[in-house]
């Protein structure tokens, strides 16, 4: 009887151990794998104050970096200051590249007739001229995202003005969905998310695919296809959502206009700036950035 009870107790222990092992393995299988954080962000979005917290964090970084620079010492300080020096040099180089500098060079056509006083001899036949050609400057400005735009400043837009809160859930208690109240651009291959997971809803009635683009030199307006949204001055979120507010830089298809580059290639797309409020007018008006 002692042996039987020992066998039973060992069997019970073995069964318990196997059960616990299975439970643990099942837990491992159920654990989120791969990029589960990114997947959660796509499904449920971020906190409402995420971008505000991010902006404040970036604003604090300068003070934190300055405090660290004063406190750090030894080899770590050498490495830190070397990296900082490289950053500053690159920044200065970029700023210098985009400044419109002038250069002195001799110009034979500017030589005056007759005698010239001695103190004006060195200035003889000198004129001011731009160092870089227009084409190179334009390329560099585009690279840096810097343009001479028709509307340099726009009125900031509040989140309440841009979005409307949509209640969801069985008892309409959840308030994480947002309805975009401004005109938007959505690409050709866009597919909506399932309604359960869609955080930002862009109504079909406020989606635009074409714009009335005016060429400033030709003084002519063309009805062109919108390729994409380059930059919305209000926020990077609005750029991602494709919001067409006043001052937005859009890319339009100008292949029908027959514009060519100096090398003879046909220009496919050019940037334009939205000059009206599309949600009020029902159309998108823009000026081509030449």
* Model confidence pLDDT, tens digit, residues 43-55: 898 888 999 999 9
Query: CB–CB of 144/93 below 8 Å?
Result: no
- The pLDDT of residue 135 is 66
What are the pLDDT digits (tens) for 57-113? 999 999 999 999 999 999 999 999 999 999 999 998 888 877 655 445 555 555 556
- The pLDDT of residue 146 is 55
Query: CB–CB of 272/248 below 8 Å?
Result: no
What are the pLDDT digits (tens) for 165-218? 999 999 999 999 999 999 999 988 888 889 889 999 999 999 999 999 999 988
Average pLDDT, the chain: 82
- What's the rounded Cα separation, in Å, for the pair 17 and 57? 49
What's the distance, CA 158 to chain centroid? 19
What are the pLDDT digits (tens) for 103-125? 455 555 555 566 667 666 655 55
Average pLDDT over residues 223-236: 93
Question: Using N-to-C axis directions, what is the helix angle for 75-98 and 134-144, rounded to 10°?
Answer: 140
- The pLDDT of residue 242 is 95
The yes-or-no verdict on residue 28 having pLDDT over 60 is no
Residue 240: CB atoms within 10 A of its CB come to 11
Which H or E element spans position 211?
strand 210-215
**What tokens were used for 166?**
């949509």
**What tokens were used for 150?**
């028709």
Q: Is 158 helix (H, G, I), strand (E, B) or coil?
A: coil
Buried b vs exposed e over 63-99: b needs ≥16 C-beta within 10 Å? eeeeeeeeeeeeeeeeeeeeeeeeeeeeeeeeeeeee
């Amino acid at each position: 009887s002692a042996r039987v009870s020992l066998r039973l107790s060992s069997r019970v222990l073995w069964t318990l151990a196997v059960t616990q092992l299975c439970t643990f393995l099942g837990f491992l299988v159920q654990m989120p794998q791969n990029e589960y954080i990114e997947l959660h962000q796509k499904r449920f979005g971020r906190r409402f104050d995420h971008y505000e917290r991010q902006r404040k964090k970036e604003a604090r970084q300068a003070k934190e970096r300055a405090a660290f620079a004063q406190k750090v010492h030894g080899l770590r300080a050498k490495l830190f200051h070397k990296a900082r020096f490289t950053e500053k040099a690159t920044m200065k180089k970029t700023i210098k590249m985009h400044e419109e500098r002038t250069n002195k060079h001799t110009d034979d056509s500017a030589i005056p007739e007759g005698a010239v006083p001695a103190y004006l001899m060195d200035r003889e036949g000198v004129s001011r001229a731009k160092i870089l050609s227009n084409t190179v400057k334009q390329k560099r400005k585009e690279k840096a995202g810097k343009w001479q735009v028709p509307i340099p400043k726009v009125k900031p837009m509040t989140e309440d003005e841009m979005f409307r809160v949509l209640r969801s859930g069985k008892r309409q208690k959840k308030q994480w969905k947002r309805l975009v109240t401004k005109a938007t651009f959505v690409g050709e291959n866009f597919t909506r998310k399932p309604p359960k997971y869609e955080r930002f809803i862009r109504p079909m009635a406020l989606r635009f695919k074409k714009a009335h683009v005016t060429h400033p030199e030709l003084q002519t307006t063309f009805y062109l296809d919108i390729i994409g949204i380059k930059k919305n001055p209000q926020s990077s979120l609005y750029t991602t959502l494709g919001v067409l507010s006043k001052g937005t830089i859009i890319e339009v298809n100008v292949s029908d206009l027959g514009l060519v580059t100096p090398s003879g290639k046909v220009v496919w797309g050019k940037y334009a700036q939205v000059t009206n409020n599309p949600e009020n007018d029902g159309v998108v008006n823009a000026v081509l950035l030449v």
